[in-house]
C-alpha cells in the first residue's frame, strides 16, 4: 500500500464491506462477492453488495443509494472496480468518476485479466486517490473460488470428509451415519450452498441414496450434482434422479457404446429425465480433464463428497485446492474399517501431501480442520 496512510477507521470500514460481500455467498457465481461502503465525514452514508451475476455491482448500488452525498466521499470496496464493457453491467469506474468520489480504498486487485490493474489506472487517470491492499488476505480468502476460476478456467475444489478420531469414514460393513454431530452437519449444508457443484461417486450414492441438497441456513440455491458412475449402476429410483437440481453422470464410453440393451435403455431413461451424461475413455476418469470440462460449462467451485477411493484419486490427480475434515470423538479401529483416504501408500514422508495454512476449531463435539494443498 502506497501513498495514503491507512488508519484504523479504514480497516473498520473495509471489514464492513467484506461482511456485506459475504452476505451473497453462493449466489454470485461465476462473479465474485463484492461489498462497497461510502463514507463521508467519518460516517457511512451508503452501502450495498453484489447479489447475483448479471445484477448491478456493489459500487453502483452504493453510489445510487448515496445520491448527491457521494460527491467528495471515500469508497471502500472489496475488489478492484471493473472498467471493461463486454459484460451485462456498465463499468463501475464510470459510476465512481461521475459520482465525484475523491478516494477509493480497495481490498484486492481483480485477477480477471480484463480488469487487473486497469480499473485502478482509470481511477487515477481521473485524479482519484487510490489505496489497494486493505485487508487483502481476507478479501482473497473470501473469493478464493473466483480467483482460481478466473485465472485457470477450472473450478476451485474442496475435499470434504467426516471421519472418526482414528481416520475412518465407515465400519467394515459400510455404516457411516452419523459419524459427526448436528453442528458439523449444518456447516456442511452451508458449504454445499456456497459451491456450484458436488462431486461424488457410485459407491457413496448407492450406499446412502443422498440428495446432496441444502437443508439449512439462508442459502436457497442447491448445487449441481456430479456423480462418477462408470457402469451406470445407480438405480433410476434414487433421489439424485428424481429431485432437483441438475444431475450430471460421468461414465465410460465403453459402457455406453458396447451394445448391451439394458445399458442403452438405462442411458435413454436418464436422458429422458434430463440427466446430462459426460463420457470418458479408459478404466478411470482423469479428474484433471474432468475439471477442465466442468469449467467449460461454468462450474467455478466444487466440493467432493465421496468415499475413500474418490478422495484418494482427487489428491493423486492434483485437483484439490482445499481440504475440510470433520473429526468426531469416536474410534472404530481395525484394519478392515474404511479409511478417509484410500489408494496408494507413500513410502517416504517427504512424498506425503503437505497441508498449508491449517486452521482448527471445535464444532459442537467435533473438530473442523481445514487447510490448503498449495501454499499461498
Is 351 annotated to bind a ligand? Reply is no
Is 50 annotated to bind a ligand? Reply is no
State the alpha helices, DSSP H only, in the chain: 8-22, 58-66, 92-99, 118-125, 136-142, 144-152, 182-194, 202-208, 253-256, 261-272, 287-296, 308-316
The DSSP 8-state label assigned to residue 147 in this structure reads: H
Q: Which residues contact 262 (CB under 8 A, 6 or more apart)?
A: none
3-state secondary structure (DSSP) of residue 201: strand
Report d(CA 231, CA 199) in Å as an integer: 17
Is 208 annotated to bind a ligand? Reply is yes
Q: Sign of the C-alpha dihedral, residues 215, 218, 220, 223? A: negative
Is 192 annotated to bind a ligand? Reply is yes
Is 92 annotated to bind a ligand? Reply is yes
CA atoms in the 13 A half-sphere facing the CB of 23: 14
Angle made by CA atoms 322, 324, 330, in degrees to the nearest 5: 155
Catalytic member of 59, 80, 173, 233:
59
Backbone phi, psi, residue 127, to 5°: 65, 25
Report d(CA 223, CA 196) in Å as an integer: 5
- Torsion from C-alpha of 30, 31, 32, 34, nearest 10 degrees: -150
* Residues 340/311, Cβ–Cβ less than 8 Å: yes
Any catalytic annotation for residue 129? no
Is 83 annotated to bind a ligand? Reply is no
Q: Which of 227, 284, 232, 293 is nearest to 258 (CA)?
A: 232
Asked if the bond preceding 178 is cis, omega within 30° of 0, the reply is yes
DSSP letters, 14-56, are: HHHHHHHHHTTTTTSTTSPP-EEEEEETTEEEEEEE--STTSP
Which residues are part of a known binding site for NADP(+)? 162, 178, 204, 208
Which residues are part of a known binding site? 57, 82, 92, 162, 176, 178, 192, 204, 208, 215, 305
The catalytic residue positions are 59
Which residues are part of a known binding site for substrate? 176, 192, 215, 305
Amino acid at each position: 500500500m502506497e501513498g495514503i496512510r491507512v488508519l484504523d477507521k479504514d480497516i473498520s470500514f473495509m471489514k464492513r464491506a467484506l461482511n456485506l460481500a459475504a452476505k451473497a455467498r453462493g449466489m454470485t457465481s461465476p462473479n465474485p462477492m463484492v461489498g462497497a461502503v461510502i463514507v463521508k465525514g467519518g460516517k457511512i452514508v451508503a452501502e450495498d453488495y453484489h447479489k447475483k451475476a448479471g445484477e448491478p455491482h456493489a459500487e453502483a448500488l452504493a453510489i445510487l443509494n448515496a445520491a448527491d452525498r457521494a460527491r467528495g466521499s471515500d469508497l471502500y470496496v472489496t475488489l478492484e472496480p471493473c472498467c471493461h464493457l463486454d459484460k451485462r453491467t456498465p463499468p463501475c469506474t464510470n459510476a465512481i468518476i461521475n459520482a465525484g468520489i475523491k478516494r477509493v480504498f480497495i481490498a484486492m486487485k481483480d485477477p480477471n485479466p480484463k480488469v487487473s490493474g486497469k480499473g485502478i489506472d482509470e481511477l487515477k487517470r481521473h485524479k482519484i486517490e487510490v489505496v489497494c491492499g486493505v485487508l487483502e488476505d481476507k478479501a482473497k480468502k473470501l473469493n478464493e473460488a473466483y480467483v482460481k476460476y478466473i485465472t485457470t478456467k477450472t473450478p476451485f475444489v474442496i475435499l470434504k470428509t467426516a471421519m472418526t478420531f482414528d481416520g475412518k469414514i465407515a465400519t467394515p460393513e459400510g455404516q457411516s451415519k452419523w459419524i459427526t454431530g448436528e453442528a458439523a452437519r449444518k456447516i456442511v449444508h452451508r458449504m454445499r450452498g456456497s459451491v456450484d457443484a458436488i462431486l461424488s461417486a457410485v459407491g457413496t450414492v448407492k450406499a446412502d441414496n443422498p440428495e446432496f441438497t441444502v437443508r439449512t441456513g439462508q442459502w436457497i440455491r442447491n448445487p449441481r450434482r456430479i456423480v462418477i458412475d462408470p457402469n451406470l449402476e445407480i438405480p433410476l429410483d434414487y433421489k439424485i434422479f428424481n429431485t432437483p437440481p441438475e444431475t450430471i453422470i460421468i461414465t465410460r464410453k465403453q459402457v455406453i457404446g458396447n451394445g448391451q440393451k439394458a445399458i442403452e435403455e438405462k442411458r435413454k431413461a436418464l436422458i429422458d429425465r434430463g440427466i446430462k451424461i459426460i463420457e470418458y475413455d479408459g478404466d478411470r476418469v482423469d479428474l484433471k480433464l474432468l475439471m477442465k470440462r466442468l469449467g467449460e460449462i461454468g462450474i467455478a467451485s466444487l466440493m467432493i463428497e465421496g468415499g475413500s477411493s474418490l478422495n484418494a484419486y482427487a489428491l493423486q490427480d492434483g485437483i484439490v485446492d482445499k481440504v475440510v475434515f470433520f473429526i468426531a470423538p469416536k474410534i472404530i479401529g481395525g484394519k478392515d474399517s474404511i479409511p478417509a483416504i484410500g489408494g496408494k501408500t507413500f513410502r517416504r514422508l517427504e512424498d506425503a501431501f503437505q497441508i498449508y495454512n491449517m486452521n482448527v476449531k471445535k464444532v459442537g463435539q467435533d473438530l473442523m480442520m481445514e487447510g490448503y494443498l498449495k501454499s499461498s
